[in-house]
Structure 1
Amino acid sequence: MLQFAIRGHDLTNINSIEDLGIKTQLSGVRNMQLALGISFPNMPSDTSNINPGMGNYFKTRLAEHGVNIAILSCYINMIHPDLATRERLLRKFEAYVKNANYFGASMVATETGCVFPEISYTTENFTEEVFQETVQVIRRLVAVGEKHGMMIGIEPGLNHPIHSLEKTARLIELVDSDFLGIILDPTNLIAAESYANQVKLVEQAFESFGDKICAVHLKDFVLENGAVKPVPLFEGQIRVNEILSTISRYKPHSFVVLEETKDAWIGKAVQRLTTM
């Protein structure tokens, strides 16, 4: 048995927390990955804005609809080249870690950024120097997680400094903490030439550092012009049954977050998932 979740911002035309709770409930999902700034762009949610009352309000209102905030998102460019901007972003993330418990979240999630101000693919992300710099930043964030008893969920991806299973394993070795977790998104780690090995990749991830995997993202895809393009779940080439079977074997009751499956597609996907 797994706990399926959605990203709050995969529901569109959300005008209030009440909307978010109702539409999540109607989709048949009880768990959410919440990105405040994306779901509610007009609500101040920066470093000085996030607070215990805000967390309690979101937690209480969503609970009225049987919805739990499993993961609090704070996706930042943690290695932003402008150091003043980087510090501002890191402090925002740390504020989210400090307040995540009031939202009822189990972890705060982020990817590992880019050497450019705007996150994009560049081989400059893959140097040893950038890897070590990323490790130092994650070590800082994990220390804040330790202080507040909150898991830091790091999501590897091909465009980022932590871009492979090998780099992820090295990160875990260098940041030795129970409060470092890995959010595994298999689709973020495959390319057109490697998509056929997707199930093997998931198996290898659990064999290598399964004790650190704190959630999984499930994102379907098709190949378009030699690139991996996200599509709603069950509309592409991800091998859902085999991947879910692997997750269940290693991490029963784990959070599995549907990603890039939006609006009406969510209910359709959940119906199929719960009858598999």
Structure 2
Amino acid sequence: MSVGVLAHLFGSLPYKELAPKVAASGFTHVQLALWKAISDVDFSKPGNISPGLANAIGEQFDKNGVSISVLGCYVHLFERDVELRRANVNRFKELLRYARFFGAPMVAAETGRNEGGDYTDRDWSVMKETLEELAEEAEKWGVFVGLEAANDHLVGTAPELARMLEEVPSSNIGVVIDPGNLLTAANFHNQNQVIEEAFKLLGSRIIAAHAKDRIMLENGELGTATAGLGGMNYELYMKLLNHYKPHVHIIMEEAKEHQMAQSKAFIDEIRGRV
């Protein structure tokens, strides 16, 4: 397992500046969200990606010794506004079509969330229909849809993600595991059970992993921190990750640039001995 990083943690930069900056920070792979990380190409709407553009970006990273392990697609996949949802789905499908030209094996996302968490059976049905459409596109191009459960999202728990995978049984859908996204103020004291349940239900479907930390704040809320600066059981996380998916790519989240080396070393040290 190698530790990579979210490319946009370095800010939004021209891709010819971004790739060497990632490499200089000691990372060999990234999760790349085009419209978050790249400033010199307009990715604000679908339609402007070509094999040539994707190759140019992928080659720039490659010549700096950095691969694109994940294309990130931060969109709301069950948006109740039909027109907006169609735009979001089209954007995701465009990334699936061109992922291989970037050198990326997957396009990943959380499902999306509504303010207040007022989810309905209709929302679930729409998400299922969306995932079926995305899986069909992924199957055409030989890439994966990476789906991530996240607290407060429609698919917010490991059991909910397991249910969605069962209802859309495509081998081109995989799991981006992130225990930090499954923890809440209510279950943080019982985090080992939450983490173990996630791997029991989803371990065989994992295709990438995220790394951040969680910390209980004085006001009783659960905060987020870079790996190593919180109270999440990384020993257990890395042990299970090694067991279920040796050599899976780990992508660091949350870290500021001055924290990256320390956080990466923290993860590397643990995964090297568990």
Partner SS, residue 183 of structure 1: strand
Count of matched residue positions in the alignment of Structure 1 and Structure 2? 268
Query: Where does residue 40 of structure 1 map in the other structure?
Result: 38
Query: Where does residue 188 of structure 1 map in the other structure?
Result: 181
Deviations 1:2-61 (A, max 9, x none): 12110001113x532232222211222101000110112452123111221111111111
User: Is 1:272 aligned to residue 270 of structure 2?
Assistant: no
Query: Where does residue 202 of structure 2 map in the other structure?
Result: 209
CA distance in 2, matches of 1:64, 1:258: 22
Query: Under a length normalisation based on structure 1, what TM-score does the superposition of the two structures give?
Result: 0.92
CA distance in 2, matches of 1:250, 1:196: 24
Query: Where does residue 21 of structure 1 map in the other structure?
Result: 19
The answer to whether the 8 A contact 1:142-1:152 is kept is yes
Partner SS, residue 50 of structure 1: coil
Partner SS, residue 118 of structure 2: helix
Partner SS, residue 95 of structure 1: helix
Select which of 172, 176, 180 maps to 2:169. 176
Aligned-pair identity (%): 27
Partner SS, residue 141 of structure 1: helix
Query: Where does residue 141 of structure 2 map in the other structure?
Result: 148
Select which of 139, 157, 160 maps to 2:150. 157
Taking a change above 3 Å as real, the CA distance of residues 159 and 274 of structure 1, as seen in their structure-2 partners, is same
User: Is 1:232 aligned to residue 226 of structure 2?
Assistant: yes
The gaps in structure 1 that reach 5 residues or longer are none
Query: Where does residue 106 of structure 1 map in the other structure?
Result: 105
CA distance in 2, matches of 1:143, 1:151: 10
Deviation at residue 71 of structure 1 after TM alignment? 0.1
Deviations 1:155-191 (A, max 9, x none): 1111211111211111111101110111111111111
The answer to whether the 8 A contact 1:184-1:215 is kept is yes
CA distance in 2, matches of 1:249, 1:199: 16
CA distance in 1, matches of 2:15, 2:127: 34
RMSD of the TM alignment (CA)?
1.5
CA distance in 2, matches of 1:206, 1:273: 18
The answer to whether the 8 A contact 2:117-2:153 is kept is no
**Moved segments of 4+, more than 6 Å:** none
CA distance in 2, matches of 1:243, 1:96: 30
The answer to whether the 8 A contact 2:3-2:268 is kept is no
CA distance in 2, matches of 1:246, 1:176: 24
Partner SS, residue 69 of structure 2: strand
The answer to whether the 8 A contact 1:4-1:258 is kept is yes
CA distance in 2, matches of 1:137, 1:59: 28
Partner SS, residue 275 of structure 1: helix
Query: Where does residue 237 of structure 2 map in the other structure?
Result: 243
The answer to whether the 8 A contact 1:27-1:270 is kept is no
Query: Under a length normalisation based on structure 2, what TM-score does the superposition of the two structures give?
Result: 0.92
Deviation at residue 271 of structure 1 after TM alignment? 2.5
The gaps in structure 2 that reach 5 residues or longer are none
